[in-house]
A and B are shown apart, each in its own frame.
Chain A
Amino acid sequence: MKVLAILLAFVATSSLAADKRYHLTAQGMALAPNAGGQEAYTLRLATNDWEAGVFRNEYITAGDYPLMGGTFEWRFPICDDSCFWQFFVQAGGGGSTGGPVAHITWGTQIPLLPIWLPTRAPPYVPALRIDFTTQMIFIKWRGVAWSYPIWAGITVPF
């Protein structure tokens, strides 16, 4: 009985932890319509419901400096972190040194394990994160769409 109680307590604790799991992501390189791609850095924190982050793009400038900003997006999972391999779409907005910005992302997270497991993604195991991101930057009266096709990085769930 004692063993069963311990197992049940472990399962209950795991479920509780699952509800509170966060994902910390760092991304650093995206393809671009020019040779060499674009150095675009972002640091992001997410749950199954939202993601917030800051970014800096060395390829495009606002004034004399690289474009920098922060965004908040609502996350709509197609397969959330109850899946080993996650898919999601996100939409939101924020501000940047170039003006207000709208942000749309399609993303996936693939745990960096040599095997696929029929379970949810394990915590603390780094995952490859690949995004297709489009930002619409509102500069004065003009909306400039800028894409980050295949923006790659690493996510750590905890």
Chain B
Amino acid sequence: MSLILPALALGMTVKIGSSGGLMQQPTSHYYHAAYGVSVDVATDSQKGIVRAHYIERPEFRSLGFADKDYGWFGQVGTKVLGPKDHGLFAFFGLGRMEGYVKADADRIDTDVTERKYALPGPTASIEYMWALGPIDLSVNHQTFIGYVSQEEVQAYVAWPYNFFMLQAGVRW
């Protein structure tokens, strides 16, 4: 609220949205269902947009293990094509993907019951959006490039996550 109220007072638009779609995991290349929430603050011309959002995939349980991925992102964007009620947008920013694998100690004989990871890195999105009154509908592709360590970057290693999402939001 500390961000939204001043933005509205300054004549900017604020959008709260939710999204659902697919996340591609970087090592297996499997697609997982994913969902998220976002907050956009934009100028009236849509030339300047700040977006904060969160995406996660549901916890998956199998054979005594449970695993999950989730991430936070902050991006700045602009409209690159189209009239006021629809168009193409580009975003760029930074984010952090995290996740865990947990072992059920009663079923799995192991000393390590949980392993976590956290990857910071750059992220970029391309999005086509339609405005229906105060409701915005959009289709979005986002890629996130997670780095692990200096050593792995020197070995040209990165962990690219891809998100293919449908998004709906309410704009003030």
Query: Measuring CB to CB, which residues of chain A are less than 8 angstroms from any residue of chain B?
Result: 29-38, 76-78, 87, 89, 91, 104, 106, 132, 134, 144-145, 147, 149-150
Contacts and interface: CB of A to CB of B under 8 A. Distances in A.
Nearest to A147: B160
B24 A33 contact: no
Interface in B96-133: 122, 124, 126
Contacts of B152: 35
Interface of B: 24, 26-27, 29, 78, 80-81, 88, 90, 92, 122, 124, 126, 141, 143, 145, 152-153, 155-160, 162, 164
A149 B78 contact: no
A154 to B, nearest CB: 18
Given A31-B158, A37-B157, A147-B160, A132 B78 contact: no
Contacts of A144: 29
B80 A37 contact: no
Contacts of A78: 78, 80, 90
Given A134-B141, A147-B145, A149-B160, 5 more contacts: A33-B26, A36-B155, A106-B90, A132-B143, A145-B164
Given A145-B162, A150-B145, A31 B90 contact: no
Main secondary structure of the interface of A (DSSP, over half): strand
Given A78-B80, A132-B122, A145-B29, A150 B143 contact: no
Contacts of B159: 33
A132 B145 contact: yes
B126 A91 contact: yes
Contacts of A77: 80
20 contacts: A30-B156, A31-B145, A31-B156, A33-B27, A33-B159, A33-B160, A37-B155, A37-B157, A76-B88, A78-B80, A87-B92, A89-B80, A89-B126, A91-B88, A104-B141, A106-B126, A132-B145, A145-B162, A147-B145, A149-B158
Contact of A32 (B92, B141, B143, B157): B157
A104 B27 CA distance: 20
A149 B156 CA distance: 10
Contacts of B124: 89, 106, 132
A33 B26 CA distance: 7
In the complex, the 6 A-B pairs of residues with the closest C-beta atoms, listed nearest first: A37-B156, A147-B160, A76-B80, A31-B158, A89-B90, A149-B145
B120 to A, nearest CB: 14
B158 A150 contact: yes
A147 B29 CA distance: 10
